[in-house]
């Protein structure tokens, strides 16, 4: 047994030694190989760079695309500003040679334990190299390149020069590169005037500008800022009293809105997208001389800008996007806000219903546009949804439920297919859900984090494309400084809905544009248009936080959002400002294709409206059914009704009675609206009755001793007399008879 243990230990040691030697050799060889990579000093020191962005006509987009235009000298900063970054990012910055071996060893052990590369242990020097020379991918090869270049930089530049470059290059969110631009944006002041609390807020922000955003995640930001203050106190940079005083201060911002349109202009969005595509920072795009070619159509961009500007609401942000249905390229984008709107995920409201509920239910064959759903008060567990007006309309068609944006039918329709099925369809359309999004509230757009306008509008491209979807994009292709092609957009389409399902949903949304919540679009005559609005508000408060209109023609999708990022209710609604913008934009355009294609898998079927009204079932109309009780409805050929209504195949039933009272004939008739009645007295027409419901009482004079009453009933407007029913009454006037006898004997 001891011998076996000894052999195992020796084997383990040999294996470990071999692994260490192999890893060391691998690292050493690659380290030497990467020594040939040049250090780009210009990338570290250039105070101002720009990126060329071109529209679809290959003309340069005339928008500001500068980076690090506001350069800040390290010597101009207050000591506490510099120390805040050192305490939270790199305490030993001035003592190491660019690499912190102790931190690297600890990070390596954590990565081995977690089987990941999450821990990087990067020093400020390494972060500077990563942000100016390398991609953001997490690989051992990139890490070794980073180490080699960091050592080179440490020899080429002084520590103060490295720290100065770092502070002028690092990303602070909301298009802020460098501490000077961040200070001007968040606090409307120069970086040299930052207070201790403000300096710590910015220092804490850079680890994750979205997670610790003082705008969108103030609670996270506050905790992170206070951590920076604690680290400064531990390092002896500030006193305990200074720490406590600063920690007691709230997160206070003074957003500078002078560059708000730059945040939400087309070229900036294209730069952000190109940065993600190539896996490098915008600074590296600029240094590398990359050219970004986009799908922007300048005429459409101008029309969208004008439409948005003409519907501005005070203290309300807005944005609009136009996506070409054929290429899935973004033709135009514009926003008015102090914050980057495409980084914001907002509650989509009722605009999610077609994507999550109705189109999936059509595709699953559980509903058709004329399917009746009971709009009533419901409770599902602890969830008690209501309609916007807290009124309930009884049975209504799917089309009416969608076009009037009624909530309860949407929840019921989702229950027909299940929450998971609805989410699967929406996810295929690019909609992202949180794990907590598992209640029926999502049928009404109630999501944990929501969706941004681009992804929401992009999802609607499936409808004009016959059910096919691909993610929309700003970038058409990218070239490097030598005009060499490094990326080309190739849409990867997938079929999410059948053609018939996509068209039926489109047809429903056309009705919404004609007479529903988007009825302001009914004046559009230059193209067919389909539309859905969405409004998000807080109960018991006047106003709304978000308002949408997502409309589409056979050629493009137009998405418009108005809202309050502070969630303060404003006087906006989906059917108002967003729909007005969409209408103004579409009316300004000229389209080649103006009608939606009707696929062969869509069928026009005649259904019995009496059956629909009385029993809420979709049945084929009888050949004998009167025209007034027949409706032509659209169905998928895979979901067409096969049962024929029995309403008009047999003679109607007549429910009536007749009695004699006080020399009058009292006739009671249980009338039905779909029947026409003819009343005869002694074969002479007496009265016609139609469009009547429930019990009727007729009084006929009865001077005779005998009378013959006949009732003939037929279906309204029916031509087939064989279906007519007859009921007769033979009546005697006993009082008249007795009077005759008395006179006879006199």
Quick: pLDDT tens for 426-438. 999 999 999 999 9
With a cut of 80, say whether residue 261 has pLDDT above it.
Answer: no
Write down the pLDDT at residue 112: 47
Report in angstroms the alpha-carbon separations of 707 from 387, 545, 681. 57, 73, 7
What is the sign, positive or negative, of the torsion defined by CA atoms of 254, 259, 261, 263? negative
The whole-chain average pLDDT of the chain stands at 89
Residue 335 has pLDDT above 90, yes or no: yes
Q: Give the pLDDT confidence score for residue 140 in this predicted structure.
A: 73
Q: Which residue has the tokens 């780009």?
A: 40
Sheet-wide strand order for 675-681? 684-689, 675-681, 706-715, 725-732
3-class DSSP state of 237: coil
Determine the Cα–Cα distance for residues 304 and 323; give it in Å rounded to an integer.
12
What backbone torsions phi and psi does residue 439 show, to the nearest 5 degrees?
-115, 165
Given phi > 0 = left and psi -120 to 50 = alpha, else beta, which region is 644? beta
Are 280 and 135 within 8 A, CB to CB?
Answer: yes
Count Cβ atoms below 10 Å from residue 478 Cβ, excluding itself: 22
In the block, residue with structure tokens 């309930």:
392
CATH topology of domain 302-587: Beta-lactamase (3.40.710)
Contact between residue 618 and residue 370 where contact means Cβ atoms under 8 Å apart? yes
pLDDT of residue 597: 97
Read off the pLDDT of each residue in 696-704 and give the average, rounded to a whole number. Answer: 90
**What is the pLDDT averaged over residues 345-357?**
97
User: Closest by alpha carbon to 333, among 259, 258, 270?
Assistant: 270
CA atoms within 13 A of residue 54's CA, in its CB half-sphere: 12
Residue 626 or 357, more confident: 357
Burial call 689-700: b when 16+ CB within 10 Å, e when fewer: beeeeeeeebeb
* pLDDT over 90 percentage in the chain: 66
Residue 738 pLDDT: 57
Domain boundaries, the chain: 1-36, 37-261, 302-587, 602-636, 656-745
Mean pLDDT of 704-715: 90
Q: Are 582 and 492 in contact (CB under 8 A)?
A: no
Is 37-261 CATH 3.40.50.300?
Answer: no
What tokens does 352 get? 């999610």
Distance CA 529, CA 513 (A): 7
Those residues with Cβ within 8 angstroms of residue 196's Cβ, 6 or more apart along the chain or in another chain: 80, 84, 229, 238, 242, 246
Pair 377, 394: CB distance under 8 Å: no
Give the per-residue pLDDT at 34.
61
The pLDDT of residue 16? 56
Is the alpha carbon torsion for 271, 274, 278, 279 positive or negative?
A: positive
Q: How confident is the model over 507-546, as pLDDT tens digits?
A: 999 999 999 999 999 999 999 999 999 999 976 678 999 9
Residues forming beta bridges with residue 544, ordered by sequence position: 537, 570
pLDDT tens per residue across span 134-147: 766 667 787 888 88
**What confidence tens digit (pLDDT) does each residue in 473-496 have?**
999 999 999 999 999 999 999 999
Contact residues for 395 (Cβ-Cβ < 8 A; gap 6+): 372, 373, 374, 375, 616
Length of the chain as a residue count: 746
CA–CA separation, 77 and 57 (whole Å): 45
Q: Return phi, psi of residue 584, to 5°.
A: -65, -40
Q: Is residue 306's pLDDT more than 90?
A: yes
Q: Is the pLDDT of residue 111 over 60?
A: no
122 pLDDT band, cuts 50/70/90, is confident
Assess whether pLDDT exceeds 70 at residue 131.
Answer: yes
The owner of tokens 């003309």 is: 59
284: confidence class by pLDDT, cuts 50, 70, 90:
confident
Strands 52-54 and 291-294: parallel
Q: Residues of the chain with pLDDT > 70: what percent?
A: 88
Considering only residues 225 and 257, tell me which one the structure prediction assigns the higher pLDDT.
225
pLDDT band, very low/low/confident/very high, at 117 (cuts 50, 70, 90): very low
Asked if pLDDT for residue 736 goes beyond 90, the answer is no
pLDDT higher at 26 or 89 = 89
Kind plus residue range of the DSSP H or E element containing 443: none
Burial class of 3 by CB neighbour count within 10 A (0 to 12, 13 to 18, 19+): exposed
Residue 448 has pLDDT above 60, yes or no: yes
Q: What is the pLDDT of residue 231?
A: 96
The pLDDT value recorded for residue 115 is 47
* CA dist., res. 214 & res. 296, Å (int): 32
Q: Which of 100-114, 299-313, 341-355 has the weakest average pLDDT?
A: 100-114
Phi/psi at 579 (5° precision)? -70, -35
Tell me whether strands 656-661 and 664-671 are parallel, antiparallel or unpaired: antiparallel
744 pLDDT band (50/70/90 cuts)? very low
- Measured distance CA(193)–CA(511) in Å, rounded: 58
Judge whether 513 and 551 are in contact, CB under 8 Å. Answer: yes
Q: Mutual orientation of helices 159-169 and 79-89 as an angle, nearest 10°? A: 90
For the cut 60, the answer to whether the pLDDT of residue 20 exceeds it is no
Superfamily of domain 656-745: Immunoglobulins (2.60.40.10)
Q: Above 80 in pLDDT, residue 319?
A: yes
Q: What is the distance between the alpha carbons of residues 346 and 572, in angstroms, rounded to a whole number?
A: 15
pLDDT at 103: 66
Owner of token pair 């340069």: 60
Give the span between the Cα atoms of 491 and 470, in whole angstroms. 6
């Amino acid at each position: 047994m001891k011998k076996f243990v000894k052999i195992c230990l020796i084997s383990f040691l040999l294996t470990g030694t071999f692994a260490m030697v192999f890893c060391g050799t691998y690292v050493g060889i690659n380290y030497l190989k990467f020594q040939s990579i040049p250090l780009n000093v210009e990338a570290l020191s250039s105070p101002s760079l720009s990126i060329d962005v071109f529209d679809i006509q290959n003309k340069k987009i005339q928008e500001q695309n500068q980076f690090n235009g506001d350069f800040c000298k390290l010597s101009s900063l207050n000591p506490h500003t510099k120390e805040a970054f050192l305490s939270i990012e790199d305490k030993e910055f001035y003592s190491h040679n660019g690499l912190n071996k102790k931190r690297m060893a600890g990070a390596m052990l954590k990565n081995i334990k977690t089987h990941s590369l999450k821990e990087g242990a990067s020093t400020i020097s390494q972060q500077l190299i990563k942000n100016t020379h390398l991609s953001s991918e997490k690989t051992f090869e990139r890490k070794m390149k980073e180490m080699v270049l960091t050592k080179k930089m440490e020899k080429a530049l002084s520590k103060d020069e490295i720290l100065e470059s770092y502070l002028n290059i690092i990303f602070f969110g909301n298009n802020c590169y460098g501490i000077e631009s961040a200070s001007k944006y968040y606090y409307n002041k120069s970086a040299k005037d930052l207070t201790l609390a403000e300096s710590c807020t910015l220092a804490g922000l850079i680890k994750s500008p979205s997670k610790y955003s003082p705008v969108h995640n103030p609670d996270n930001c506050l905790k992170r800022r206070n951590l920076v203050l604690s680290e400064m106190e531990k390092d002896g940079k500030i006193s305990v009293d200074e720490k406590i005083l600063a920690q007691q201060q709230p997160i206070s911002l003074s957003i500078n809105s002078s560059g708000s349109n730059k945040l939400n202009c087309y070229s900036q969005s294209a730069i952000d997208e190109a940065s993600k595509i190539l896996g490098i920072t915008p600074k590296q795009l600029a240094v590398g001389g990359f050219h970004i070619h986009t799908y922007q159509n300048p005429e459409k961009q101008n029309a969208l800008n004008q439409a948005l500007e003409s519907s501005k609401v005070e203290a309300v942000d807005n944005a609009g996007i136009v996506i070409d249905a054929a290429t899935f390229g973004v033709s135009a984008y514009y926003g008015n806000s102090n914050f980057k709107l495409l980084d914001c995920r907002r509650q989509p409201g009722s605009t999610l219903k077609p994507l999550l509920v109705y189109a999936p239910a059509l595709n699953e064959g559980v509903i058709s546009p004329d399917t009746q759903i009971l709009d009533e008060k419901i409770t599902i567990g602890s969830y008690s949804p209501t309609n916007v007006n807290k009124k309930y309309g009884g049975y209504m068609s799917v089309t009416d439920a969608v076009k009037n944006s009624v909530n309860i039918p949407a929840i019921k329709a989702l229950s027909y297919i299940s929450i998971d099925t609805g989410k699967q369809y929406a996810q295929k359309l690019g909609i992202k859900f949180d794990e907590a999004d598992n209640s029926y509230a999502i049928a009404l757009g109630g999501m944990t984090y929501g969706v941004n306008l681009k992804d929401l509008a992009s999802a609607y491209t499936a409808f004009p494309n016959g059910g096919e979807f691909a993610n929309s994009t700003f970038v058409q292709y990218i070239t490097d400084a030598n005009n060499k092609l490094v990326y080309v957009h190739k849409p990867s389409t997938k079929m999410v809905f059948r053609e018939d399902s996509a068209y039926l949903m489109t047809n429903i949304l056309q009705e919404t544009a004609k007479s529903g919540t988007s009825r302001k679009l009914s004046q559009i005559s230059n193209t067919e248009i389909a539309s859905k609005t969405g409004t998000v508000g807080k109960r018991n408060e006047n106003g709304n936080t978000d308002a949408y209109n997502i409309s589409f023609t056979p050629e493009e999708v137009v998405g418009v959002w108005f809202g309050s990022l502070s969630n303060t209710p404003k006087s906006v609604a989906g059917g108002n400002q967003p729909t007005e913008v969409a209408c103004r934009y579409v009316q300004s355009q000229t389209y080649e294709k103006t009608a939606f294609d009707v696929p062969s898998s869509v069928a026009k079927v005649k259904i019995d409206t009496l059956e629909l009204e009385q029993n809420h079932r979709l049945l084929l109309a009888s050949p004998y059914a009167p025209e007034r009780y027949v409706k032509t409805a659209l169905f998928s050929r895979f979901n067409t009704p096969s049962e024929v209504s029995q309403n008009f195949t047999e003679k109607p039933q007549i429910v009536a009675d007749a009695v004699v009272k006080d020399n009058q004939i009292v006739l009671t008739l249980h009338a039905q609206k779909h029947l026409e009645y003819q009343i005869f007295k002694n074969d002479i027409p007496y009265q016609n009755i139609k469009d009547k419901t429930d019990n009727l009482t007729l009084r006929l004079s009865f001077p005779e001793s005998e009378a013959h009453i006949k009732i003939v009933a037929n279906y309204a407007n029916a031509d087939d007399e064989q279906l007519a029913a007859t009921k007769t009454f033979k009546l005697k006037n006993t009082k008249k008879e007795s009077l005759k006898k008395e006179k006879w004997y006199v």
